Amino acid sequence: MSLAGKHVAVTGARKGEEISQLIVNMEGIPYVRPTQGTVFLDESQVAPDIHRLLNEGTDWLILTTGIGAQTLLDMAEGLGLRERLIELLKRVKVAARGYKTRQLLKGLGITPAVSDDDGTVRGLIRQFADISLSGERVALQLYGELPDALRSWLTDVGAAYTEIMPYRHMPPPETEIAAFIDELLEGKFDAVAFTSSLQVQYLFQAAARYDAAGKLREQFAGGVVAAAVGIVTAEALEEAGVSRIVQPDNQRMGGMIVELSRYYDSNR
């Protein structure tokens, strides 16, 4: 398996260096081109939510991302409340979305009462099919974007829920994403590796502002291969009109790069 001579753009800034090394290991040439930024909120903004959670308690705590759960623990530590938060996690019923969230909980000796089967919010909701949340107190850790599906579902099932958002997402500077779109249209890259649905959405939203969305789809149908880390990201690409998508079965970054190299090996 090899990416020898392949120029691969990486749209995730937070894991850009890590993914770039994986590409280099496969003899490819990586370029970090973030289409999504992540801003961690100030501890003072999240502290009231942590205090409320610890003082008022909850019946369920829904953790939607590993980085969000870890950030809550880090903020609690800064407040001298990490052990209290861990105690609460062990005492209440925890629902977890995603492999990284489950791994974090495993490191704390916690097995979630509910977890998804496919890495998606819909997958997590499906696992509550036989569980009543009517009248239950639910604390929901948000993941940087407005979770309309979760909010609607919690409202529909009659849960009394509160939200905690330790970080939020934002698009990159306009000049940077415009330059990236130009590079894509010029054919600079052989592939683009996407690690979140928002990266896809921000890219195509920007392309639409420049009347370039159609041309961008043509590039992905022709010379540029779209690689998605998992189901949610692949769905975002499909919704954007991209049909040729390479994705791994294990929904891991390493698996994505290996699958991309396999794609090129089978098409040499």
10-residue block means of pLDDT along the chain (268 residues)?
92 85 95 84 84 96 91 93 97 93 95 90 92 96 72 94 84 93 97 93 95 97 94 91 94 91 87
pLDDT of res. 186: 96
Separation between Cα atoms, residue 35 and residue 109, nearest integer Å = 35
pTM: 0.76
Domain ranges (residues) in the chain: 7-38+171-266, 42-165
pLDDT of res. 145: 57
Strands of 13-133, DSSP E:
29-40, 60-63, 93-96, 114-115
Fold agreement (7-38+171-266, 42-165): yes
pLDDT of res. 55: 96
7-38+171-266: CATH topology is: Rossmann fold (3.40.50)
Q: Return the SS3 of 188.
A: coil
pLDDT of res. 146: 53
pLDDT of res. 2: 87
pLDDT of res. 94: 98
Residue 9 tokens, joined: 């753009």
CATH number of 42-165: 3.40.50.10090
